[in-house]
Structure 1
Amino acid sequence: MTRTEPTRGGPPVVGRAGTVTGGGLRGALAFEWTKLWSVRATWWNLLIGVVLAVGFGAMLGLSADASAQKGLDVALPAPHVAAQGITVAQLTVVVLATLALTGEYTGGSIRSTLQSVPVRGRMLLAKTAVVGGVVAVVGAVLFSLPATLAAAGFMGDLGAYTSGEAAGTALGVGTYLALLAVMAVGTGALLRSGAGTITTLIMVLMALPELTKVVGADWLVRVGAYMPSVAGEVLMTHRSEPYGGGTALVVLLAWAAAALGGGYAALRSRDA
């Protein structure tokens, strides 16, 4: 005989009569994992992201080969070339992570979520951990490595690279996209709007860095260097300008913490 019983801080689980399993952070993590993979949008976003990463990796490799044939010096490790294409594929990560939370507000299922996991900080932590963890693995394994192979296939000797460079770039891609997903979840909790969150992040990732260059003011250029996309590119390609990988990681952690902190404050202060 089995029955369903509520657990403190986690979704109800089914066990033998008289027993309760799960609950707490572990139950919340399992709850969020199930929800993430039961939504069709998750699969579509990941598929589109892989296609974009590999497609742009191949295009950039082909472009480098064409430039070399014209006498230009474009020799660069294929993983670093492929990482440049992640700037497009990252949009699918923004959409996936945003909808993981805002989709519940749109559909009204956020009420069920908060009934199942009434401790709001725990719910947000579980969702962030699941989404960020999935994106980290997908970014490193399904985005970076196949894109590297695609770029290398067209670049030949121009894109010669070591296994360490490939692994380092994959780690950088996974870390950057995971922290970007954390930013999206936090911003989604703050705004509770899918369109508003995606628009805000696109502005921060793409529009603002370019705007600071166009205006040309020195202080704006310095500010623009600390935008998430700039730090992400440094982390993925191991560039030394405008700063090193350690600083880039700190910048991204600060952006993610600010977004998540704002989202948590908003989540605690208002009704679902």
Structure 2
Amino acid sequence: MEWIKLRSLRSTPWALLFTVAGMITIGVVTMANTEAPGSAAKAAALDPTNNVLAGVALGQLVIGILAVLAVTGEYASGSIRSTLAAIPDRRLVLAAKATVLGATSLVVGEVIAFVTFFAGRAALSEAVTDVVPAPALDQPGVLRAVVLSGIYLALIALIGVGLGALTRHTAGGTAAFAGVTFVLPAVLSGLTGITIAKFFPTMIVANSLAVARPVDDMLSPWTGLAVLCGYTAAVLAAGGWLLARRDA
């Protein structure tokens, strides 16, 4: 039932198409504009893999809002009453939504991540590759960065589902999602540096998951993934608990 709902909405294919086009375009443009490092220190710090995956920030915004809408849209239209009449167990309804959104986002995210990687790699100029080898999947950390970028989009979708269940309101859910992923990390970075901001999703993907080379003072890729999984489980659990105690 949830799969039929998702694929029958006009917003779903358009949102996914925008995600695909946006991530690939950003990856290609970023790589095409990557300049050759002028010193050995800059060459050692350059991470082309991180550059090509820069579009994940756009992808998480679209996927996250789509996931929020998958929950709040039913409350806005009133169709949630029909859903709960057919399936009274609200936790089961939330689990079904999370499964469909998570699986769809995982498949789409992995496909986009790999396509973006190869398209962006081809756009890297010879001036750069003469100094730094073009990223390849057999290089240390590269395959892991690409795969975890796709997994990240699936986790973001699950967080969006949880926030939608917590708020049951499109504007509130979208604001909460934007606050957690973009606003709070930016504010905290300005106030406290990376001490706290490095534990937020956007900072984790930009500096931990989607990197082939470790970034100083940031979480390791696997620690970052564990933190994101913890966030996801907590938000979904809270959303399920609150949803079970509310009237439709």
Aligned-partner SS, 1:84: coil
**TM-score, length basis structure 1:** 0.80
Q: Distance in 1 between matches of 2:166 and 2:95?
A: 14
Q: State the distance in 2 between where 1:46 and 1:185 align.
A: 16
After superposition, the C-alpha distances for 1:95-142 in whole angstroms (9 at most, x for unaligned) are 21111111111111111111122111111111101100110110110x
Q: Is the 8 A contact 2:102 2:157 kept in 1?
A: yes
1:154 aligns with 2:123: yes
- Of 229, 232, 256 in structure 1, the residue corresponding to residue 205 of structure 2 is 232
Which residues in structure 2 correspond to 1:1-272 (within 5 Å)? Answer: 31-64=1-34, 67-68=35-36, 71=38, 73=42, 76=46, 78-141=48-111, 143-156=112-125, 157=129, 158=132, 160-164=134-138, 167-216=143-192, 221-233=194-206, 234-241=208-215, 242-272=218-248
Distance 1:49 1:246 in 2: 25
CA–CA distance in structure 2, aligned partners of residues 185 and 74 of structure 1:
41
**Could you tell me how far 1:189 is from its partner in structure 2?**
0.4
SS of 2:53's partner is helix
Decide whether the 8 Å contact of 2:59 with 2:153 is kept in 1: no
**Counterparts of 1:151 and 1:123, CA distance in 2:** 39
Cα distance per residue 1:48-106 (max 9 Å; x no partner): 00111011001111220xx22x8364685644322122112211101211111111111
Instruction: Kindly indicate which of the two structures has a greater share of residues assigned to strand.
Output: 1
Q: Return closer, same or farther for 1:108/1:53 CA change in 2, 3 Å cut-off.
A: same
Query: 2-side partners of 1:114 and 1:78: how far apart?
Result: 48
Aligned length, in residue pairs: 235
Q: Can you list the C-alpha shifts for 1:11-51, whole angstroms capped at 9, x where unaligned?
A: xxxxxxxxxxxxxxxxxxxx111111111111010000011
Which residue type is aligned with residue 53 of structure 2? A
* Aligned mates of 1:46, 1:267 — CA distance in 2: 27
Could you say if the C-alpha distance between residues 265 and 87 of structure 1 is closer, same or farther in structure 2, counting changes exceeding 3 Å?
A: same
> Alignment partner of 1:237: what SS?
coil
TM-score computed with the length of structure 2 as normaliser? 0.87
Report the 3-state secondary structure (helix = DSSP H, G, I; strand = E; otherwise coil) of the residue aligned with 1:163: coil
Unaligned runs of 5+ in 2: none
Runs of 4+ in 1 over 6 A off after TM superposition: none
Structure 1, unpaired ranges of 5+: 1-30
| Greater relative contact order (Cα < 8 A, sep 6+) | 2
Structure 2 Cα separation of the partners of residues 147 and 227 of structure 1: 24
Q: Which amino acid aligns with 2:137?
A: S
How far, CA to CA, are the matches of 2:212 and 2:244 in structure 1?
A: 38
CA RMSD of aligned residues (A): 2.0
Quote how far apart the aligned CAs of 1:167 are.
3.6
Question: Percent of aligned pairs with the same residue?
Answer: 34
Report the Cα distance in structure 2 between the residues aligned to 1:170 and 1:85, rounded to whole angstroms.
12
User: What's the secondary structure of 2:26's corresponding residue?
Assistant: helix
For 2:133 and 2:173, the matched residues in 1 are separated by: 37
Structure-2 separation of matches of 1:162 and 1:109: 48
